[in-house]
Amino acid sequence: MRHRKKGKVLDRKVGPRRALLLGLTRSFLLVDRMATTLAKAKAVQPLIERCVTRARKPTLADRRWLLAHLGGDHEVIKKLIQSIAPRYENRPGGYTRRTRLPARKGDAAKMALVEWVQ
């Protein structure tokens, strides 16, 4: 039974799943827009939102949290704190939107576009 279990499994074990979500989060923060499967988009969106919330008030503890959760990538953290977080200073949440796209041709997977809310 899956009582009180959070998150998506994405048909992967824990290590590969964490690596996948870390890579999706970092690439989204660098590129600002991402087309992926709907399940992956649903799994990565809360992680992105949490990172932006932490970056809005970058105390030392928040910077360390971001370093730990974004794989120590200083370039991503710098962009997040200096250019992304100030845009959402007065917004209480909901920094990203997920828009459905047509199914992928090869395997008919449901696709989604994740992008920043203006």
Kindly tell me if the per-residue pLDDT of 118 is higher than 90.
no
Per-residue pLDDT tens over the stretch 65-92: 999 999 999 999 999 999 999 999 999 9
- Cα distance between residue 93 and residue 89, in whole Å: 10
In terms of C-beta density within 10 A (0-12 exposed, 13-18 middle, 19 or more buried), how is residue 65 classed? middle
Kindly tell me if the per-residue pLDDT of 34 is higher than 90.
yes
Q: What ranges do the domains of the chain cover?
A: 14-32+39-93
Per-residue pLDDT tens over the stretch 4-24: 888 889 999 999 999 999 999
Per CATH, domain 14-32+39-93 is 3.40.50.2300: no
> Which pTM value belongs to this model?
0.91
| Cross-strand bridge partners of residue 55 | none
